[in-house]
Copies of this chain bind each other. A is one copy, B any other.
């Protein structure tokens, strides 16, 4: 009797599994419908097939399947300015309300003036002062609540939509495709990891513990009621950009990725480090060459130069030399946003 029930269960599980798993496995169903056919899409599909086929020389054990993605410019729009910087500017009035003496101090005075031209000319030191004042000093739960409220209310100036709508649909499909094939997907961002962790699970399906970013110190304290709190300190433990990306990957994962996806010079070392591993490694860069549907910036390939998300000729040359794929937004992505 027990044996029969088990046999039945095995039969039934087999049948059910083939029904439910049929969709991603069949050739007919395309896991990346927002990608145009071309070398980039082909490379992704071949990479996934090779690393997950136990009979392949390039098979990668399940536990080692790590894929890392930059966020700004790789998973969502980074122009005209990083979303987290918009958050910092928006928080300035609340900070000044708590510390009124800042109203007459630079750079807070300029931000409060609303003078876009003057704000655009603020130095990196000024920006760091604003970041320090707006992202630290509160406990981590309060910070999470503030970001949650802001991200629900704030709107991008061009599309008049929540910033979280401005994620790239081809990349959301790629994240899902990788996870369906046993890859653990990570964000590795120059932004603050506490900020991105607030919405990463909802927007990208990536849980907080798989978000690596710039790390601010926290200190364990007791509040006035004796309850333990973690206070965000103005102390940078890791600047998770450029060389900081492979460093952050080692600190928080401890394994080398098999796939890394970026879009600018800040991602160079992460891609180098990924490709330097033994076995099959895939490195990709988004090229923003579509001013009509998103933005166009380089300065490689004659595209305009901008401060944010630079893709210079040296990066293009290193991609060619080291075998990284450059993904043209214009040619490789059939559709960019889910709301289109």
A: residues with CB less than 8 A from B are: 5-6, 9, 12-13, 15-16, 19-20, 63, 66, 140, 184, 193-194, 197, 201, 207-209, 211, 215, 217-220, 227-228, 230, 237-238, 243-244, 246-247, 250-255, 269, 272-273, 276
By the criterion CB–CB under 8 Å, are A269 and B211 in contact? no
By the criterion CB–CB under 8 Å, are B253 and A209 in contact? yes
- CB proximity of A334 to chain B, nearest CB, Å: 27
Report the Cα distance A276→B141, complex, angstroms.
Answer: 12
By the criterion CB–CB under 8 Å, are B13 and A218 in contact? no
- CB proximity of A333 to chain B, nearest CB, Å: 30
A contact patch SS: helix
By the criterion CB–CB under 8 Å, are A140 and B228 in contact? no
Q: Assess A208 versus B255: contact at CB under 8 Å? Given A63-B201, A220-B269.
A: yes
- Copies per assembly: 2
By the criterion CB–CB under 8 Å, are B13 and A16 in contact? yes
Provide the residues of chain B in CB contact with A193, threshold 8 Å.
251, 254
- CB proximity of A222 to chain B, nearest CB, Å: 9
Of chain B, the residue at the smallest CB distance from A141 is: B256
Of chain B, the residue at the smallest CB distance from A269 is: B220
By the criterion CB–CB under 8 Å, are B19 and A227 in contact? no
Report the Cα distance A237→B240, complex, angstroms.
Answer: 14
By the criterion CB–CB under 8 Å, are B237 and A251 in contact? yes
